[in-house]
Amino acid sequence: MKHEHFNRKSSGGYSQKGNLVYNGGFEDSERLQGWVANEGVDFFCAPEEISHQGLAAARLGFISNYAFLYQDVSGIFPGCYYQLNCYLIAGSNLGNAPLWITLRYLDINKRDLGLAIEIMIEQFTLSNTSYSGFLNITSLPAPHSARYARIAFETDTSDSGGHVDLDDVSLVSL
C-alpha cells in the first residue's frame, strides 16, 4: 500500500504527516527543549546508559521521586485520528514505578477538551535490559475546536519501584 504525504481531513483540508513532537528523542543540545518538566525529570547521554535510538533519553523519577513531563504539540486538526508512540525501559534492576501516559486535546487557548489516550504502565512490568515500544491510536477523532495535544508522562517512585527512562516520543496523524 502506498502512503501519501498528506491525509485528508474531514473538513476538506489537509493535515501534514510525520512526527508532530518536537525533540521526542531528547537529542537537542538542550536535552529537554520543547518539554515542560519538573525537578524529577533529567536526561542522560549514551554510551554510559542505554538509549532507544541516538545518544540521549529522558529519565523520570531519578533525581526526585515525583516526575512530570509534558509537551503541548501544535498542528492538531479536528476530525483526525492520531497515534502516540514512545519507548520505555525500567532504569534499574529495581523495576519500574507505575507510569501514567496521557494525551489530551486542547483548544487554541490551551483549554482542555478531553482525554484522548490514557495508559497506566503498571509497577514492575518494564524490562531493565531492553526498551518496550508503545503504539496507541486515539479511539475518537480530534474534537472540532482542537488545535493542540498535550502529551504527558507522570511517575512517583516514592512507594516502590525505580525510575523510568523514556525515548523517541512521537505523535503522527493517521
Residue 58 in contact with residue 152, Cβ under 8 Å?
no
Mean pLDDT of 12-28: 76
What grid cell was written down for 172?
503522527
**CB-based contacts of 5, cutoff 8 Å, min separation 6:** 16, 17
Residue 70 in contact with residue 153, Cβ under 8 Å?
yes
Grid-cell match 481531513, residue found: 9
State pTM to two decimals: 0.87
Q: Tell me what pLDDT residue 7 has.
A: 33
Q: What is the pLDDT of residues 71-125, one digit of tens each?
A: 999 999 999 999 999 999 998 888 999 999 999 999 999 999 999 999 999 999 9
Q: Tell me what pLDDT residue 48 has.
A: 62
Query: Percent of the chain having pLDDT more than 70?
Result: 88
**CB-based contacts of 38, cutoff 8 Å, min separation 6:** 64, 66, 67, 68, 69
Q: What is the pLDDT of residues 45-65, one digit of tens each?
A: 866 667 888 889 999 999 999
Closest CA to 35 of 58, 17, 1, 14: 58
Neighbours of 142 (CB within 10 A): 24
Neighbours of 134 (CB within 10 A): 14
CA–CA gap between residue 169 and residue 50 (Å, rounded):
16
- Maximum Cα–Cα distance for the chain, whole Å? 51
Domains of the chain: 18-127+135-155 (2.60.120.260)
Residue 106 in contact with residue 72, Cβ under 8 Å?
yes
Lowest-confidence region among 12-26, 73-87, 151-165: 12-26
**pLDDT over threshold 70, residue 8:** no
Q: Tell me what pLDDT residue 90 has.
A: 95
Lowest-confidence region among 136-140, 147-151, 157-161: 157-161
Q: What's the full length of the chain, in residues?
A: 174
